[in-house]
């Protein structure tokens, strides 16, 4: 019989658990220490902190899902030990005291041992104590994840260092996604963790269960804050310097560039292109990086919404099929700089006055100068300067970004050749 099936030493209904949960909720460290170090018996006592098994209580308020017949037979039950509680909250003195009383560092009645808790909380001192007392650095939790896979925050760098010093496997693949620690660092934009793992021998192009490399995982990760985006950019630069393939495809044939475009990350897209990413690559669904960029253009920083599209075109991405331009106009009308950059990538594209219907009236009014110049081209051919630009760009092809700056031309003309938007069309 497993510890899950045995009655806990301190069930949820006990006075001990009530006082412990109250102390934890209020941050009363002294009371927590008193309870888990003095009152809890034995030292590895099983403590029940949660149990939502409503089937055991006929008078319980049933969840909406149960009333609809959608409730599963699974329920949440949280079992833990004094050592796990101490490690989870960074109580170093409690951890030391419990270990001195021969607490088992690998006990995990609820599926997570104390070392897992310490890593999740980024409590380096607790992790070091546990490892010094024999905690298994590769012990898997109930989800099949090792402690290194739970080092998911900047604060957990010390825990990762301690784990590796005590023999943790840097290339361990585990969990539902068969991720390595480097994949986890990439998914969370942890550049310092990634550097640590690479120094310790992590393979930069190892694949997980979805066929992703760490670079691919990093490019597809959400980075909502500027700090997270900066860390992710440093991480990707580190991986590329370490030999990561800029064009590695996952199981859906998506490249890191596809994912960076899908996340509206102009700086990251430029970094990948500089390292040889294919601007014209197609995934299994036939989507190009440019298509992904156009779908997410309104999510990019306002000052850089056109940058990804501009970079892709300057690195040889095919433009949108002419017949599909009205769809692009409908999606990107509120970002006229994108419409301008894309429109200027064609030598000649016939403008139809019917396209005016897809531009919302308020958008037209906000950007009236641009759209007046745009629809004026329904009756006027492009200027000679634009035709010369198109000829030069066609000649340079995928090398536009590299060759145009070498031309003996004033900087404004170089920017013109590289599709820098001007705010009007001629």
> What are 169-203's pLDDT values in tens digits?
999 999 999 999 999 999 999 999 999 999 999 99
In angstroms, the CA 95 to CA 138 distance is: 20
DSSP string computed for 88-137? HTT-HHHHHHHHHTT--TT--TTS--HHHHHHHHT-HHHHHHHHHTT--T
- Report the distance separating Cα 15 and Cα 21, nearest Å: 10
- What is the spatial distance between Cα 332 and Cα 296, in angstroms, rounded to a whole number? 9
| Under 8 Å between Cβ of 356 and 375 | yes
Residue 50 pairs in a beta bridge with 78
> 146 φ, ψ to 5°?
-85, 165
**pLDDT < 70 stretches in the chain:** 1-5, 52-76
Q: What is the 3-state secondary structure (H, E, C) of 148-160?
A: HHHCCCHHHHHHH
Pair 219, 257: CB distance under 8 Å: yes
Q: Answer for the pair 212, 244: CB distance below 8 angstroms, yes or no.
A: no
Beta carbons within 10 angstroms of residue 312's beta carbon: 30
Tokens 């594209």 sit on residue: 349
pLDDT at position 7: 87
Q: Are 370 and 423 in contact (CB under 8 A)?
A: yes
- In order of 312, 313, 349, 371, the CA distances from 346 in angstroms are 14, 11, 6, 17
* Residue that the structure tokens 């404004």 belong to: 412
Residue 61 has what pLDDT? 52
pTM higher than 0.85, yes or no?
Answer: yes
Residue with tokens 């949960």: 21
CA distance 404 to 417: 7
Q: Does residue 313 contact residue 396 with C-beta atoms inside 8 Å?
A: no
Residue 262 φ then ψ, to 5°: -65, -20
Containing H/E element for 402? helix 400-403
380 closest CA partner among 413, 404, 357, 349: 349
E strand or H helix that includes residue 341: helix 336-343
Which residue ranges form the domains of the chain, and what is each CATH number? 1-55+75-167+179-202 (1.25.40.20), 254-426 (no CATH)
Q: How far apart are CA 337 and CA 333, in angstroms?
A: 9
Within 13 Å of residue 48, how many CA atoms lie on the same side as its CB? 19
Residues 126 and 82: beta-carbon distance below 8 Å: no
**Coil, strand, or helix at residue 79?**
strand
Integer Rg of the chain from CA: 29
Which distant-in-sequence residues (6+ apart) come within 8 Å of 198 by Cβ? 182, 204, 238, 242
pLDDT of residue 76: 67
């Amino acid at each position: 019989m497993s510890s899950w099936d045995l009655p806990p030493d301190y069930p949820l209904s006990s006075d001990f658990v009530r006082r412990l949960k109250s102390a934890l909720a209020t941050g009363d460290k002294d009371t927590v220490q008193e309870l888990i170090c003095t009152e809890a018996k034995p030292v590895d006592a099983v403590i029940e902190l949660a149990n939502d098994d409503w089937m055991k209580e006929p008078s319980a308020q049933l969840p909406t899902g149960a009333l609809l017949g959608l409730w599963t037979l699974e329920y949440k039950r949280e079992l833990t030990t004094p050592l796990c509680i101490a490690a989870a909250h960074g109580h170093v003195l409690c951890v030391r005291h419990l270990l001195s009383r021969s607490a088992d560092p690998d006990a995990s009645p609820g599926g997570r041992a104390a070392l897992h808790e310490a890593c999740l909380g980024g409590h380096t001192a607790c992790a070091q104590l546990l490892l010094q007392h024999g905690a298994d650095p590769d012990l898997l939790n109930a989800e099949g994840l090792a402690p290194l896979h739970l080092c998911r925050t900047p604060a957990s760098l010390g825990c990762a260092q301690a784990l590796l010093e005590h023999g943790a496997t840097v290339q361990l693949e585990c969990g539902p996604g068969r991720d390595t620690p480097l994949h986890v660092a990439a998914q969370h934009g942890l550049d310092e963790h990634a550097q640590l793992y690479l120094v310790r021998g992590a393979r930069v192009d190892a694949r997980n269960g979805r066929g992703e490399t760490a670079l691919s995982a990093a490019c597809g990760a959400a980075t909502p804050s500027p700090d997270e985006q900066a860390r992710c950019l440093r991480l990707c630069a580190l991986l590329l310097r370490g030999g990561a393939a800029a064009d590695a495809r996952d199981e859906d044939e998506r490249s890191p560039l596809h994912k960076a475009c899908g996340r509206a990350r102009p700086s990251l897209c430029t970094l990948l292109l500089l390292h040889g990413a294919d601007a014209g690559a197609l995934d299994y669904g036939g989507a190009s990086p440019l298509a992904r960029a156009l779908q997410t253009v309104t999510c990019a920083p306002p000052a850089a919404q056109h940058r990804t599209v501009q970079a892709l075109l300057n690195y040889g991405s095919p433009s949108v099929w002419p017949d599909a331009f009205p769809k692009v106009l409908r999606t990107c009308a509120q970002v006229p700089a994108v419409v301008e950059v894309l429109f200027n990538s064609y030598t000649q594209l016939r403008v139809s006055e019917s396209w005016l219907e897809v531009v919302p009236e308020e958008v037209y009014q906000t950007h009236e100068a641009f759209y007046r110049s745009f629809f004026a081209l329904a009756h006027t051919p492009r200027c000679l300067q634009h035709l010369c630009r198109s000829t030069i760009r066609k000649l340079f092809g995928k090398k536009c970004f590299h060759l145009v700056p070498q031309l003996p031309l004033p900087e404004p003309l170089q920017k013109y050749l590289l599709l820098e938007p001007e705010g009007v069309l001629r």
